[in-house]
Amino acid sequence: MNDAGNGTGGNGATPTSAPAAGAEPVVVFEDVSIGFEQKPVLENISFQVHTGEMRILLGPAGVGKSVLLKLVNGLLRPDSGRIFVFGKEITAMREADLFELRGSIGTVFQEGALFDSLNVRDNVGYRLIEERLPDDEIDARAEEALRFVELDHTLDKFPSELSGGMRRRVAIARAIVTNPKLILYDSPTGGLDPITSTTIIQLVMKQRDVSHTSSLVVTHRIQDAFILAMHRFNRTTNQMEALPAHHTDPNTTFLMLHQGHLVFDGTTKELVHSNDAFIKEYIS
Amino acid sequence: MALETIDAAAKRGVLALQDYALLSARAVSDLFRRPFYRSDIYMQADIIGVGSLPIVILTGFFLGGVLALQSAATLTQFGAAAFTGQLVSFSMIKEIGPVVTALMVSGRNASGMASELGSMMVTEQIDAMRALGTDPLKKLVMPRIVATVVMLFFLVIISDAVGISGGGFVSVFMLGQDSSQYFHTSYQSLEYPDVLQGLVKPIFFGFIIATIGCFYGMRTRGGTQGVGRSTTQAVVWSSILIIVCDFMISRFMIGIFGR
């Protein structure tokens, strides 16, 4: 299996991602630990996400993947360690300053987390409404984002009128409407049927290959992770297609959590050939 | 073991009190920070104020009526039935109007706020709001506090007026008293400190209802069961605090004005 990336990662918690040449990391975790009610959840986590890179965070359910994602956009604060996003140390920032920073981060929550009292247009254009942009501009940008997820006919519908898959797609539209520099996906396919999951993964891939946005994708579905690593989005056919045999996407790399520790940080090839018993069992 | 339990419970209590104080202080300070969510305040004022009007009118009218019924029966024994109006207006304006209206609004709106915000918490909508760069305290809590304080103030005035009218209705049509005597004694005996006392209370009660409702809503954990628990706690604690606060304000006002 050829990995076109220049990742040098392997087992262990060393921050060894596959950076684009000369690019400054978008996200840096330095020895981050967090616990709840005196129980450690994440311990000494260190890794980086570089510009244009997609990092897929794997791990069994309940290992702290969503917690890690919430640490990235400052929804949770670590007990120790430092987190840098776009070069700013968010662990030292006030909540009021974090609101501004979050304007450059799109987040897709586990169940979509759409505002159930707002229709699809207002959900997708929420941030634009908050910025008090003219209605015409909000309409145009919300429609454009919804067209990306192929749901531009649902503008006036409410979340309760949408299926689970459609809600996830609207959540993706809401996350990309402001063209963020970083997107966080929290189990975007969790609880969905295989066909809908593939549609969502295709959208995640489309965002990666068309907009080249840095992203951190949390999932416990290994098949979704490998689809992302071994396929690319074809703009001409508007479909994803498999990469040539033994090739993987160079900008897609992996992180794996186990029992609160980062047990893997590296490329697809390194993941597949890992000798770690847990990783072997997980990906088998 | 028992000591550890008491220690943990005390720490939880102090922590909750600290969180409540912080939430209230931040929400109040958000009043002076941009953006100012005017339309959200109007919407909440409609839900809390206009929506509570029917129950406030109904309870106010029948409370005034029952006050007249009960007090007239006692006053007649002392040949003082003519003072029914005075007793009804005193009771309604100083105590029953503000307290009962606040308890009714608490039952309807503190629970509503706790369940609405609680549902948003458990479905990650509050996190989504924060992730989208909006401060939920500013967007959700501050408008509810402003709307509740302002609307409860007016609801209490309406309740007082309807309650005195209800007392008048019972006194005139059921007890056969003279209407002009009833209304004359009602307002003649009132003094500014009485009215002031009746108008200061809803400001504090409104603040208690909104902050307690939002506080329990914002700290909801544990799915639908957690939402139910928050709703119950919001109503229980806002009701308790309203009555405790009523005693403290009454004592304070009587201390200042002597009545």
Is residue B232's pLDDT more than 80? yes
Candidates A193, A268, A264; CA nearest to A225 is A268
Count: domains in chain A:
1
Asked if the structure places residue A278 within a domain, the reply is: yes
Q: Is A130 on the interface with B (CB under 8 A)?
A: yes
Express each pLDDT in B99-137 by its tens digit: 999 999 999 999 999 999 999 999 999 999 999 999 999
Task: Report the C-alpha dihedral over residues B29, B35, B41, B44, rounded to 10 degrees.
Answer: -100
Chain A with chain B: Cβ pairs closer than 8 A: 50
CB B20 within 8 A of CB B215: yes
Any chain B CB within 8 A of the CB of A110? yes
Q: Give, to the nearest 10 degrees, the angle between helix A194-206 and helix A164-176.
A: 10
Cα B39–chain centre separation: 23
In this predicted structure, what is the pLDDT of residue B41? 95
Report the pLDDT value the prediction gives residue B154, as an integer from 0 to 100: 97
Number of domains in chain B: 1
φ, ψ dihedrals at B80, nearest 5°: -120, 30
Tokens of B223: 């799915």
In the beta sheet, which residues pair with residue A107? Answer: A184
Within-domain flag for A277: yes
Query: What is the C-alpha separation between B21 and B44, in angstroms, rounded?
Result: 22
Separation CA A32–CA B223 (nearest Å): 28
In a domain, A209, yes or no: yes
Nearest by CB: B131 against A75, A95, A100: A75
Q: Flag whether A175 is in a domain.
A: no
CA distance B52 to chain A (A): 21
Residues from chain B that touch A102, judged by Cβ atoms under 8 A, are 130-133
Written as tens digits, the pLDDT of chain A (284 aa) is 444 433 334 443 333 334 444 467 999 999 999 999 889 999 999 999 999 999 999 998 889 999 999 999 999 999 999 999 999 999 989 888 898 888 889 999 988 899 999 999 999 999 999 989 999 999 999 999 999 888 989 999 999 999 988 999 999 999 999 999 999 999 998 888 888 888 899 989 999 998 889 999 998 888 899 999 999 999 888 889 999 888 888 889 999 999 999 999 999 999 998 888 899 888 88
Residue B26, both tokens: 């931040």
Residue A146: inside a domain: no
Residue A277 belongs to domain with CATH number? 3.40.50.300
Q: Find the residue in B nearest to A115 (Cα).
A: B125
Nearest to B124 among A99, A105, A111 (CB): A111
What's the CA gap between A47 and A266, in Å, rounded? Answer: 10
Q: What is the pLDDT of residue B160?
A: 95
For the stretch B187-223, pLDDT in tens is: 888 889 999 999 999 999 999 999 999 999 999 998 8
Burial of A281 (0-12, 13-18, 19+ CB in 10 A): exposed
Range of the domain at B46: 2-257
Whether A181 contacts A86, CB under 8 Å: yes
Residues with Cβ within 8 Å of residue A193, at least 6 apart in sequence? A165
Predicted confidence at residue B73, as pLDDT, reads 87
Three-class DSSP category at B193: helix
Residue A145 lies in a domain: no
Query: Which among A96, A99, A113 has the least Cβ separation from residue B124?
Result: A113
B131-179 pLDDT tens trace: 999 999 999 999 999 999 999 999 999 999 999 999 999 999 998 888 8
Q: What angle do CA B97, B98, B104 make, to 5 degrees?
A: 90
CB-based contact, A168 to chain B, within 8 Å: no
Q: What is the distance between the alpha carbons of residues B213 and B220, in angstroms, rounded to a whole number?
A: 11
**pLDDT of the residue at A3:** 47
pLDDT at B142: 95
**Per-residue pLDDT reduced to its tens digit, B36-84:** 899 999 999 999 999 999 999 999 999 999 999 999 888 888 888 888 9
Report the alpha-carbon distance of residue B111 to residue B52 in Å, rounded: 13
Residue-number span of the structural domain to which A220 is assigned = 2-114+181-283
At A169, is the secondary structure helix, strand, or coil? Answer: helix
- DSSP structural state of residue A244: S
Q: In this structure, what token pair is assigned to residue B71?
A: 């007090």
- CA–CA distance, A241 with A230 (Å, rounded to integer): 9
A211 class by beta-carbon count within 10 Å (0-12 exposed, 13-18 middle, 19+ buried)? middle
| Sheet with strand A80-85: strands edge to edge | A39-50, A25-36, A80-85, A88-89
| Residue A4 amino acid letter | A
